[in-house]
Structure 1
Amino acid sequence: MGRDHDESVPFSRVFDLPSEVGLRIAAATLGLSLTTAYRRAQRGEFPCPLRRVGRTYVVRLRDLMRAAGIQDVRVHYDDLEAGARFAAGETDA
Structure 2
Amino acid sequence: MKRHRDETVAFSAVFGLPAEVGMYVAAQALSLGLSTAYQRARRGEFPCPLRKVGRRYVVRLTDLMRALGIQDVRVHYDDFEAGARIARGPADGRY
One-letter code aligned to 2:13: R
Structure 2 counterpart of 1:89, one-letter code: G
What is the Cα deviation at residue 2 of structure 1? 3.4
Give 2:63's aligned residue: 63
Q: Distance in 1 between matches of 2:52 and 2:2?
A: 43
> What is the match of residue 86 of structure 1?
86
Give 2:62's aligned amino acid. R
CA distance in 2, matches of 1:35, 1:3: 46
Structure 1 segments, 4+ long, off by >3 Å, are none
| Residue 62 (structure 1) shift | 1.1
Aligned-pair CA distance for 1:3: 2.1
Unmatched 5+ residue regions in structure 2?
A: none
Give the whole-Å Cα distance in 1 for the aligned partners of 2:32 and 2:84. 35
- The residue correspondences of 1:10-89 to structure 2 (distance < 5 A) are 10-89=10-89
CA distance in 1: counterparts of 2:60 and 2:3, whole angstroms: 30
Pairwise CA distance, 1:6: 1.8
Which stretch has the larger CA shift, 2-11 or 55-64? 2-11
The alignment yields a C-alpha RMSD, in angstroms, of 1.3
Is the deviation greater in 1-10 or in 58-67?
1-10
State the shift of 1:9 in Å: 0.8
TM-score (norm 2): 0.89
More moved, 83-92 vs 61-70: 83-92
User: What percentage of aligned pairs have identical amino acids?
Assistant: 70
Give the length in aligned residue pairs.
92
Letter in 2 for 1:82: A
TM-score (norm 1): 0.91
